[in-house]
Amino acid sequence: MTLTALLSDIHANWPALEEVVADARRAGAERFLCLGDIVGYGAQPLECLELVRELSPVVLMGNHEEAIIEGPYGFNPLASAAIHWTRRTLEAASARMPDVLSWIASLPVRVDLQEALLVHGSPSHPTEEYLFREDTLDYLPRQQDYSPKLTRCFRGLDRPCFVGHTHVPGVIDHALKWIAPTDCGEVYDTDGAPCFINVGSVGQPRDGDLRASYALFDGRQVRFRRVPYDVHRAAQRIFAERDLPDVLGQRLLEGW
């Protein structure tokens, strides 16, 4: 199988996306797949949308794309402010990208490939549900031995499933254990078996590591990648937009 780069949660962070694409190309990636949330939070949605559209034969709808079309229902005030700003920015760019809103509205929430299933959040609720490390057995209260949510999500799954949404990279295996990239030397062998692989976030990592996160997949092995980029440049672009809350730039500098 061709080496595939899986990107999620770019969040309009152009400096991060540029570095990730360059890193993946240097590593030999021949195919790019995008798991959603190209926009939201960051200051350069147009650049990111243009490149992802050109690069990726598969682009999923994330909850932030859904919010652009339907409104930011259930979003916190920061995320909501960014959605309103992004929507206005896309509307104002109608000469540059005339069909961008209808393209966003047309994105699928789930794609079944032969070697993997792709969703933004979870197979049950593709744009909504989060699969957290805290849902796995070691993290459940009092070390319970049953996770109804994960058990439901594994039901019917017959191959690896790539997700994003939480912005924290790692694997949930069939034993409902969490495997962080550092636990497996950044390489996880799926053996084609059902598991959930979170590729982390290109544009807003939330695990304390400021570097952009994505994954490479050869059909069996997953290689987790972290890529340094100019975080200050991305934050400055957010600070420069009056209608984007400053804290959205600040959090990039802090990794949450």
- Binding footprint of Zn ion on the chain (CB under 5 A): 9, 37
Number of residues in the chain: 256
Query: Least distance to Zn ion from the beta carbon of 21, Å?
Result: 18
DSSP assignment of 115-181, as one string? S-EEESS-SSSTTT----GGGSGGGSGGG-S--HHHHHHHTT--SEEEE-SSS--EEE-TTS-EE-G
* Measured distance CA(226)–CA(200) in Å, rounded: 9
Please, what is the minimum distance in Å from the beta carbon of residue 66 to Zn ion? 11
Spatial separation of the C-alpha atoms in residues 237 and 13, rounded to whole Å? 9
Give me the residues paired with residue 118 across strands: 111, 162
- What's the order of all strands across the beta sheet hosting 178-179? 110-112, 117-119, 160-163, 195-198, 170-172, 178-179
How far apart are the C-alpha atoms of 248 and 78, rounded to whole Å?
8
Q: Which is nearer to Zn ion, 127 or 136 (CB)?
A: 127
Nearer to Zn ion among residue 183 and residue 254 (C-beta): 254
CA distance 66 to 60: 10
Nearer to Zn ion, 62 or 194 (CB): 62
CB of 142 to Zn ion, least distance (A): 30
Q: How far is the CB of 175 from Zn ion (least distance, A)?
A: 27
Closer Cβ to Zn ion, 34 or 46, answer by number: 34
- Minimal distance in Å, beta carbon 165 to Zn ion? 6
Please, which residue, 16 or 176, has the CB nearer to Zn ion?
Answer: 16
Which residue lies nearer to Zn ion by CB, 37 or 66? Answer: 37
Min dist. Cβ of residue 190 to Zn ion (A): 23
